[in-house]
């Protein structure tokens, strides 16, 4: 089960960069039994090795991907292909994980954890970064 979900997420995110003031790839993560309890902001900071006083903001998955997974009239063919890949990524996340939350950790250089529950109750998802000045 672990390999299956991480493989699907790797394939869906392969080659995609999340665009902000810098572009960052996605990394797959899997947190087993340790994380099966309810994921709180403090638990997330603990699991990710962040200081307990770092700012954590939670956003909806559709809101997080609102700019990258929606085609615009002015997109060229390459941009339209990238949008399709992001749409596929969001579909893969939603099809394989439940209770998905997007956690933005920090300010300016923000670590982003897209976390959901697997069928077995473990937590899995993707990590990327955004830069907002």
Supply the CATH number for residue 56's domain: 3.40.1460.10
pLDDT (tens digit per residue) in 4-53: 999 999 999 999 999 888 899 999 999 886 656 778 999 999 999 999 99
How many angstroms separate the CA atoms of 24 and 42, rounded? Answer: 25
Range of the domain at 36: 2-131
Rg of the Cα trace of the chain?
A: 15
Assigned token pair, 104: 């933005």
The answer to whether the pTM exceeds 0.85 is yes
Number of domains the chain is built from: 1
pLDDT (tens digit per residue) in 74-109: 999 999 999 999 999 999 999 999 999 999 999 999
Angle at 108 between CA 107 and CA 111, to 5 degrees: 65
Q: Residues 8, 127: contact at Cβ < 8 Å?
A: no
Closest CA to 117 of 31, 50, 34: 31
């Amino acid at each position: 089960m672990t390999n299956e979900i991480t493989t699907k997420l790797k394939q869906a995110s392969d080659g995609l960069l999340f665009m902000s003031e810098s572009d960052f790839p996605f990394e797959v993560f899997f947190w087993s039994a340790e994380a099966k309890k309810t994921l709180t902001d403090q638990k997330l900071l603990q699991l990710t090795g962040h200081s307990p006083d770092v700012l954590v903001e939670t956003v909806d998955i559709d809101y997080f991907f609102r700019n990258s997974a929606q085609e615009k009239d002015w997109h060229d063919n390459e941009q339209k292909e990238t949008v399709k890949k992001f749409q596929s990524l969001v579909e893969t996340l939603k099809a394989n994980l439940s209770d998905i939350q997007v956690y933005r950790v920090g300010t300016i250089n923000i670590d982003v954890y897209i976390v959901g529950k697997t069928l077995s109750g473990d937590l899995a998802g993707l990590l990327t970064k955004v830069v907002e000045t």
